[in-house]
Chains A and B, each alone.
Chain A
Amino acid sequence: MDIKDIIKPENLVYKKTDLMTDKILSYCPGCGHGTAHRILMEVIDEMGIQSETIGIAPVGCSVLAYDFMNVDMSGAAHGRAPALATGIKRLWPDKFVFTYQGDGDLAAIGSAETIHACNRGENITIVFINNGIYGMTGGQMAPTTLEGMKTSTSPYGRDLQTMGNPLKMTELVAQLPGTWYVTRQSVHTPRNVRRAKKAIRIALEAQKEKKGLTFVEIVSNCNSGWKMTPVKANEWMEENMFPFYPLGDLKVEGKLVNNQ
């Protein structure tokens, strides 16, 4: 049997959503960004809201997210995505507005915009990719870098005494009255992908009710920055990132979960 005999419409079990463009992703093989992009676009596709959605791309590895996501988008200055989203959502309250940001963008230079958009309860969705490092600029220390973790600007490991502590932005924003849904997910196994996709759906659906800001952190790997193979990076992420950044919901329907 020839391969052409297999590729037929009746044999189709999975198809890339049209909300992902055909541009080749700029991400390293093994990186979680591609999967995170895909599930975000699948949710928008499934909700049928492409024509009502406006996205904001950050500065960081996903600076070119607008090339891959087939929705109207604006590229923000470093860290300012929640401010752009605020401006848009205030003028278009019935549109779905999301930001897609990395940890350097959201937790360092954009920490003020993040906290204040969350605190005002802007009816937007923030998708936060946390891989504990600055990927695009070549693997420097991020606010989320773990203790002892080696990066190009913490070559002997992050020293808490001189370099400060890793910042749990998701725990922080969960405390603010303006957030409605706050969760931490990952996309490194099929099961986690399904869960993360469900979380994004909850987050975007909440915009209809105008209940407040919804925040989905996705703990991800950076095999290039971490200098590991993709498989090893995912193992390292499970062993080191998840204990410090535990997966699961932190806030549901405006109420903190468990002991948050």
Chain B
Amino acid sequence: MKELRLMKGNEAIAEGAIRAGCDAYFGYPITPQSEVMEYLMAEQPEKRTGMIVLQAESEVASINMVYGAAGTGKRVMTSSSSPGISLMQEGISYCAGAELPCLIVNVVRGGPGLGTIQPSQADYFQSTKGGGHGDYRLIVLAPASVQEMFDFVFTGFDLAFKYRNPALILSDGLIGQMMEKVHLAEQRPRLTEFDPSWTITGKTPDREHNIITSLDLDAARQEKHNQKLQAKYQKITENEVRYEELMTEDAEYLFVAYGSSARICQKAMQLAREQGIKVGLLRPITLWPFPVKPIAHLAPKMKGILSVEQSAGQMVEDVRLAVACATPVEHYGRMGGMVPSPEEVLNVLVNKFISK
């Protein structure tokens, strides 16, 4: 039987990292995700699995330690919260350009700027549309529970290595700070074999020297490299969409929400059904690739779709693109660290679509 433990979301990320066979964590403290490194430092994973934990001098250094270490083919990760993730964007772009597998965790807080330390989902654009410079994509996983915080560390690493691409867990201060029970998976071994076709582990006589870089000054070759990246992103789009549908079979209205907003919508859906309003929920689990087809499939059956996010309306743009005007789409969100209540969300649904 799996081990059961009551944990904070941030702690689940840390324990998940150890058990997923992560080789190194490089990070810098920032609220509301500092428990990730605190837990790791207290746990001394070097004694459990040999995993290295290092507190860097900045988020810029953290992501570049990740970039360096990822080039050797090991499982490496960092975590931070919004302002820190903004600082990492250059490094993340380099990781994507050099096709390095690595895991980044963003426990989102309210912005812009220093913003606030309360939960937010306003980093959706940054996470799914690039964030740093250049044409690139991250594989973005959005956990809606402490269990998923734990599980997605495994999924994130697996997808990162499958496609040699950075993966991002886009969480928020609510999921990071709340406590829930977690079924802990067995310890997975750390990697011991490294692909000699690209990793930098020391040039041996049987191969050419390997170079990790995103630079190619020849425009024609750089375009080819970009086309190769785009082909990879297309493959990810075709194969890796993950989502969850709740009570959509008989639904006349649909919530689309991810992460903590999905949990709130789940309750709002329950309240609605008590009043006889048939609402369903579609929860994107991968924010990139976005579940376009499942939403497009459901849209014609709905009288209205409410996209709920703790932002001014970012994911709603992708929902509208998927729905393609098949039914009305509205957005509801709170900003700056405010979290909507289920009653509030239900009221909005009623006001926008039902008692107009």
Contacts and interface: CB of A to CB of B under 8 A. Distances in A.
A36 interface: no
Contacts of B67: 74, 76-77, 80, 83-84, 87
Nearest to B211: A66
A67 B66 CA distance: 23
A113 B64 CA distance: 10
Interface string A7-36: 000000000000001000000000000000
Given A50-B202, A80-B91, A83-B56, A75 B211 contact: yes
A56 B211 contact: no
A197 interface: no
Interface string B141-170: 000000000000000000000000000000
Contacts of A52: 202
A54 B58 contact: no
Interface residues of A, number: 35
B69 interface: yes
Interface in A64-117: 64, 66-67, 69-77, 80, 83-88, 90-92, 95, 112-113, 116
Interface stretch (B71-79, B122-130, B320-328, B337-345): B71-79
A21 B204 CA distance: 15
A64 B215 CA distance: 9
Interface string B244-279: 000000000000000000000000000000000000
A73 B200 contact: yes
B226 interface: no
B54 interface: yes
A91 B52 contact: yes
Nearest to A78: B90
A116 B56 CA distance: 8
Contacts of B56: 83, 86, 116
Interface string B49-75: 000101011101110111111111010
Contacts of A71: 202-203, 209
A162 B340 CA distance: 52
Contact of B64 (A50, A53, A69, A83): A83
Given A77-B90, A83-B64, A91 B72 contact: yes
Query: Which 3 A-B pairs have CB atoms at the shortest separation, nearest pair first?
Result: A84-B68, A87-B65, A87-B69
Interface of A: 21, 50-54, 56-57, 63-64, 66-67, 69-77, 80, 83-88, 90-92, 95, 112-113, 116
17 contacts: A54-B201, A64-B215, A66-B209, A71-B202, A73-B211, A73-B212, A74-B98, A75-B215, A84-B67, A86-B61, A86-B68, A87-B65, A87-B66, A87-B67, A90-B52, A91-B74, A116-B57
